[in-house]
C-alpha cells in the first residue's frame, strides 16, 4: 500500500505532456524490458503487442523481426523519448524478454502504444514529470480482501480447537476488516454493495508474515482506498466466498469455519 500511496501522490488521476499521458494502471503479460543504467530492477517494460504497434506507428509499416532488432537502439530512443530524452539516454538499447507480474505500475500512453516504468521511486518520478500537467485518466479499480481476522504464519493450526484470530470480526453481523497488505479499516455492512468505515488503522508494516481469513473480496477505486475516513460510506462490487479461506501471499492454505464468542473469533481449519 505504501508504494501505491507514494506513486498516487505524484501521479494522481494522471499527468499529461503533449500527446503522452501517464496513469497508474494494473498490467501484466509477455514483453520486453530495457534496464535503466544497467539496473535489472528498474527500467522500461513494453508488451510485445505494444512494441509492435509502436514500431509500426513510427515506421508507418510493420517491419520484419530482423529489421526491428537491427534498428532497436534507434527505436528505443524514439519510442520512449516522449518521457524524457535525458532519461532515455540512460536506458539500455538492448531489451530482454520479461513476463511482467500483474500489479499496479506507472504506465505511459503515447500515440498507438504504451509502456510501463518499473522500479522507480516516487521522488524520481516526481522529478521526471515536473513539467507535466494534471490529467483525468480512467479510475483504477483494485480488488482487496475482506477478512475476519489474521494469525501470524508461524502459529500451528489446530483443527480440533481452532486458533484465535487477531482483530477478529463477526461476518454474521456484517463486520469485516478491509485488508490491503495489512489491516486498513474495520467496516460494517450497510446495504447492497455499501459499507461504512467504522475504524481506521494507523499505517504500519508487519515484521513477520501473516495469514488472513478471507470471507469476501470487494472492488474499489484506488483513489477511494487512499482517502478513507472514519464514518465514510464506500461502495463496490462484492464477491463472497462460500467458506472461510486461510490465505497467505494470495494463496489459499486451507478452508475452515468461524466460531464467535464474547472473547473473540476462532478459525477452525478443515480436518483433511
Per-residue pLDDT of the chain (272 residues; tens, 9 = 90+): 557 778 888 998 899 998 899 999 999 999 999 999 888 889 999 999 999 898 888 776 665 566 567 778 888 888 898 888 788 889 998 889 999 999 899 999 998 899 999 999 999 999 989 889 998 888 889 899 999 999 999 999 988 889 999 999 999 999 999 999 899 999 999 987 899 999 999 988 889 999 999 999 999 998 898 889 999 999 999 999 889 999 999 899 999 999 999 999 999 998 65
pLDDT value at residue 226: 84
pLDDT value at residue 67: 58
Domain boundary (117, 134, 151) is at: 134
Considering the domain architecture, whether residues 98 and 157 belong to the same structural domain is answered as no
Considering the domain architecture, whether residues 146 and 129 belong to the same structural domain is answered as no
Considering the domain architecture, whether residues 7 and 130 belong to the same structural domain is answered as yes
Domain boundary (72, 107, 134) is at: 134
Considering the domain architecture, whether residues 128 and 6 belong to the same structural domain is answered as yes
pLDDT value at residue 155: 92
C-alpha cell at 107: 504506465
Phi, psi of 228 (to 5 degrees): -70, 145
DSSP 138: P
Contacts of 233 (CB under 8 A, 6+ apart): 190, 194, 195, 196, 197
Considering the domain architecture, whether residues 169 and 222 belong to the same structural domain is answered as yes
What is the Cα–Cα distance from 110 to 161, expressed in whole angstroms? Answer: 58
Looking at the structure of the chain, the number of domains it has is 2
Domain boundary (75, 102, 134) is at: 134
pLDDT value at residue 61: 62
Considering the domain architecture, whether residues 232 and 193 belong to the same structural domain is answered as yes
Considering the domain architecture, whether residues 204 and 263 belong to the same structural domain is answered as yes
Q: Structural domain of residue 236, as residue ranges?
A: 141-269
Considering the domain architecture, whether residues 145 and 200 belong to the same structural domain is answered as yes
Considering the domain architecture, whether residues 127 and 229 belong to the same structural domain is answered as no
What is the Cα–Cα distance from 129 to 111, expressed in whole angstroms? Answer: 18
By CB atoms closer than 10 A (0-12, 13-18, 19+), residue 266 is buried
Considering the domain architecture, whether residues 195 and 218 belong to the same structural domain is answered as yes
Residue 23: Cβ within 10 Å count: 22
pLDDT value at residue 214: 98
What Å distances lie between residue 235 and 54, 195, 220, 238, 248, CA to CA? Answer: 38, 6, 7, 9, 26
Considering the domain architecture, whether residues 26 and 68 belong to the same structural domain is answered as yes
Considering the domain architecture, whether residues 184 and 206 belong to the same structural domain is answered as yes
- How many helices and strands, by DSSP H and E, does the chain display? 7, 16
Amino acid at each position: 500500500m505504501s508504494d501505491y500511496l507514494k506513486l498516487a501522490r505524484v501521479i494522481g488521476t494522471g499527468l499529461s505532456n503533449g500527446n503522452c499521458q501517464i496513469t497508474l494502471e494494473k498490467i501484466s503479460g509477455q514483453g520486453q524490458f530495457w534496464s535503466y543504467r544497467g539496473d535489472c530492477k528498474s527500467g522500461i517494460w513494453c508488451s510485445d503487442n505494444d512494441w509492435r504497434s509502436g514500431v509500426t506507428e513510427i515506421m508507418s509499416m510493420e517491419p520484419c523481426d530482423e529489421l526491428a532488432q537491427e534498428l532497436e537502439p534507434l527505436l528505443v530512443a524514439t519510442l520512449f523519448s516522449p518521457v524524457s530524452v535525458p532519461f532515455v539516454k540512460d536506458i539500455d538499447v538492448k531489451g530482454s524478454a520479461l513476463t511482467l507480474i500483474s500489479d499496479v505500475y506507472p504506465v505511459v500512453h503515447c500515440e498507438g502504444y504504451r509502456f510501463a516504468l518499473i522500479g522507480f521511486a516516487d521522488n524520481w518520478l516526481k522529478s521526471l514529470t515536473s513539467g507535466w500537467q494534471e490529467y483525468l485518466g480512467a479510475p483504477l479499480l483494485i480488488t482487496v480482501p475482506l477478512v475476519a481476522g489474521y494469525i501470524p504464519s508461524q502459529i500451528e493450526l489446530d483443527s480440533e480447537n481452532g486458533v484465535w484470530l487477531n482483530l477478529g470480526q463477526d461476518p454474521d453481523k456484517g463486520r469485516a476488516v478491509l485488508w490491503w497488505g495489512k489491516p486498513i479499516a474495520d467496516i460494517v455492512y450497510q446495504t447492497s454493495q455499501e459499507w461504512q468505515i467504522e475504524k481506521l488503522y494507523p499505517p504500519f508494516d508487519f515484521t513477520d508474515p501473516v495469514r488472513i481469513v478471507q470471507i469476501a473480496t470487494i472492488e474499489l477505486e484506488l483513489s477511494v482506498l487512499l482517502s478513507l475516513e472514519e464514518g465514510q460510506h464506500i461502495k463496490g462490487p462484492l464477491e463472497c466466498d462460500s467458506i472461510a479461506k486461510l490465505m497467505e501471499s494470495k494463496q489459499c492454505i486451507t478452508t475452515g469455519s468461524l466460531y464467535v464468542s464474547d472473547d473473540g473469533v476462532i478459525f477452525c481449519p478443515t480436518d483433511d
